[in-house]
Chain A
Amino acid sequence: MKTGKFAHAALVFYGILVLAFLYLPLVSVGFASVSKARYLSFPIRKYSTDWYGKAVESDTVRDLLFLSLKVAGIVTLLAMVMGFFGALAFARYQWRYRKLFQKLILLPIFFPQTVLGLALLMWFNAIGVIPSWKTAVVAHLVWIAPIATLVIAIRAYSFDPALEEAARDMGANTWETLREVTIPLLMPGVVSAGLFAFLLSWGNFPLSLFTTGADSTLPEWLYAKMVSGYSPLVPTVGMLSVAASAVLLALGLTAPWLLRSLRKMRS
C-alpha cells in the first residue's frame, strides 16, 4: 500500500519517537559513564573515560562480572538442554498429559518474579539450603527454562515428523535419529533459546536479589550502588554490561553466516 506525504512523515516521526523512548535512557547512562564528576548531573561539563579504566582494574567489578558470567553460563547450558527435551515433549510427541504439561510448563513465566524469588527463598530455607550463586542458578532456571522450552517448541512445531520417520525407516535407532536429524534441525531454535537464556539471566535482578544470599551478581551490585555509594563506576559497569550483551547478541545473529563461511573455507 502506498502512503501519502503526510502519512509518511507521521510514520517517520512516530518511529523516531518510539526509538527515542526505548534508547534515550540507555544513551543517558552512556553519557553518565563518561562524566568526570563524581555525582550524576546534566548537562555533563567535563568528559573522561577514566572510569572505564578503573572498572577494568577493579577486583570487585571483575569478581562481579565473573560471578554473573558463571551464573548466566550455567543457566544457559541447562536451559538449552531442558528446553530441548521440554520442547520435544511440548510440540513433537503425542502423550497422555501433553496438554496439561503445555499449560503448566509455561505458568512460571507469568508469575511476578519477586513472588517467585520469595517463594524459592522460603523453599531453600525450608529444605536447609543456604542461598548462594548456586541457588540463583536454580531460581533463574525456574523462570528461564520455560522460555527456552517455548522458543525451541516454536521450531519443533515447524518440523516435519516424516523426517524422523524416514531416518528410522532407513535403519537409524533412537540415538542416531536424534543425532542425525532432530538435534541438527532444532539447533537454530536451541541457539536462540541459549541467547535468550543468557541475556535474561545476565540482566536478572529480582530473582537474584532473593536467592544469591551472600553472593552478588552485577545487577544487584548496580542497584546497591545506586541506592548508596554512587560513583560514575555504576553507569560505567552498566555500560560494560550492556556492551557484553550486545556483543553476544551480534555473535548469535551472525553465527549462521560465520559457520557457513567457515564451512566454505574448509571445503
Chain B
Amino acid sequence: MGDMPILRINALTKTFDDFTALHAIDLNVHDGEFLAIVGPSGCGKTTLIRLMVGMEEPSDGAIWLRDQRIDEVPANKRPTCMVFQSLALFPHRTVGQNIEFPLKLRKVPAAERKARALELLALLRLPEDYYGKRIDQCSGGERQRVALARALAFDPEILFFDEPLSALDYRLRKTLEKELRELHLRTGKTFVYITHSLEEAMVMSDRIAIMRAGRFEQIAPGAEIYARPSSTFVAEFMGEVNLFDVSANAGDLTLSGRAAGQFSGQQGTLMIRPESLRILAPEEAAEVAVSGTVTAEYLLGSRIQYAITTAGDKSVTVEVLRENGIDGGPGTPVRIGCGASACHLIAEA
C-alpha cells in the first residue's frame, strides 16, 4: 500500500432539496489500500460511493483521481468500477458474457475476451464450465464471485463495493469476507468498501472510516479505532463498551496509581472494553476498580459475559474466558478492574 493518495475528496457536499446528505467531507484513499466506510443506515455512505463512481453529481467540492479532477466526468468515462449491493448481474447473459461485458464495450476480440473470462473464473475459484451457465443457475456465493470477476475484467483503478455481502447468510458472508481480503492482497488493487457491518470492515480493511450524519467521525486502522475511539459514538459503534464520566469523579470507579494520575480531574469519558476488565480476587489491587453485583450472565462459547450493576446503579459489562469466570450466578457480589493502559479517555466537547 502506497502513501500516495489515489483518490482525494475535498469539501464534498451533497444536498437533496433541503436535506444535506454530506457536509463538506474530506477523504484521502491511498493507492492499493482496502478502505472500509462504515456507518449506520442513512449516514450518507451510499451517497458518497455514488458520488465517487459518478452516479450522482456533487453539490459542492471536488473529487480527484491522481492528478485528474473527476467529479464532472461521467460515470462511463471514469476508470473506476463498482460491485453493486444487488450485484446487478445481467440476467439475460451467461456468466461468461457477464464477465466479458466491459471487454466487449472496449471492442476486445472475442477469443481474447473468452481467455480473460476463463482466467478470472479461475482466479475467483469458479469451474471453467460456469462460463456458459445462466445467472439464475448460480448460487448466492457464486453470483458474488461472478460480479467480482466482471468488475476485475474492467481492470479499474479503484474497485468500489456497495454492501455486496449484506444479503448473504452468516457463514457464506464470513467465507467471502476472507476471500475478498485475499483477493485484495493478490490483485494489489485499491478497494473502497461500503458496509454497515463493523465486523466485515474489521476483517477486511486496512483502514476504516466511520461515518455519522454525513460526516466522518474517525478514519484510522481498525485496531486503532477500536482501542482509541475519537468519540463515544465511535466507541459504541465499534462494539460493546463501558463508558464512565470521569469529570464526575469517575462515578463508582476507584482510580489509583497511574490511572489516578492520568484520568483524575480530567474532562471526558473513560472507555473500557468488556474484555479488558477482569474479575478481581478479594484483596487484589487494580489501577481501575469497581464493585458491584452480577445481575446476568451470558455464555458466548469459550467466553462468558457478565452484566454487573454497581452501587451507583450503573450497568457494566465484563467478558472473560470461561475458566476465569466467577463461582456463583446472578446476585454474587464482585470486584472488577483493569490496568490504566486498558482505558482510553475520550475528551469530547
Contact = CB atoms under 8 A, between A and B. Distances in A.
A167 B85 CA distance: 15
Max chain A C-beta neighbours (<10 A), residue from B75, B84, B86, B88: B88
B32 to A, nearest CB: 21
A160 B86 contact: yes
B91 A169 contact: no
A180 interface: yes
B101 A167 contact: yes
Interface string A138-155: 000000000000000000
A72 to B, nearest CB: 29
A169 B81 contact: yes
Interface string A163-177: 101111111110010
A171 B82 CA distance: 12
Which size class do B's interface residues fall under? 20 to 34
Contacts of B92: 184-185
A181 interface: yes
B4 interface: no
Contacts of B105: 170-172, 176, 180
Contacts of B84: 162, 165-166
B55 A173 contact: no
B186 interface: no
Given A169-B53, A170-B105, A172-B105, A162 B81 contact: no
B193 interface: no
B263 interface: no
Given A162-B84, A180-B101, A169 B76 contact: yes
A172 B102 CA distance: 8
Contacts of B81: 169-170
Nearest to B86: A162
B90 interface: yes
A176 B105 CA distance: 8
A181 to B, nearest CB: 6
Contacts of B75: 165, 168-169
Nearest to A174: B76
Interface residues of A, number: 17
B90 A181 contact: yes
Q: Is the interface of A mostly helix, strand, loop or mixed?
A: helix
A182 to B, nearest CB: 11
B154 interface: yes
B171 interface: no
A202 B88 CA distance: 40
A172 B90 contact: no
A155 to B, nearest CB: 12
A160 B84 CA distance: 11
Contacts of B74: 168
Contacts of A185: 90-92
Contact of B55 (A160, A165, A170, A176): A165
Interface in B105-121: 105-106
B212 to A, nearest CB: 26
Given A165-B55, A180-B101, A172 B76 contact: yes
B101 A169 contact: no
Nearest to A163: B88
A169 B86 contact: no
A180 B101 CA distance: 9
A171 B106 contact: yes
Interface in B55-95: 55, 74-77, 80-82, 84-86, 88, 90-92
B86 A173 contact: no
A181 B101 CA distance: 11
B101 A170 contact: yes
Contacts of B54: 169
Given A162-B84, A176-B105, A170 B154 contact: yes
A167 B82 CA distance: 10
Given A170-B105, A171-B106, A162 B88 contact: yes
A267 B75 CA distance: 35
Nearest to B85: A162
Nearest to B77: A171
A236 B77 CA distance: 62
Contacts of B82: 166, 169
Interface string B4-26: 00000000000000000000000
Given A165-B84, A168-B74, 17 more contacts: A160-B86, A162-B85, A162-B86, A162-B88, A163-B88, A163-B90, A165-B75, A166-B90, A167-B90, A167-B101, A169-B80, A170-B81, A171-B76, A171-B105, A176-B105, A180-B101, A185-B90
Interface of B: 53-55, 74-77, 80-82, 84-86, 88, 90-92, 101-102, 105-106, 150, 154
5 contacts: A168-B55, A169-B55, A169-B76, A171-B154, A185-B91
Closest 3 CB pairs of A and B: A166-B88, A162-B88, A170-B102
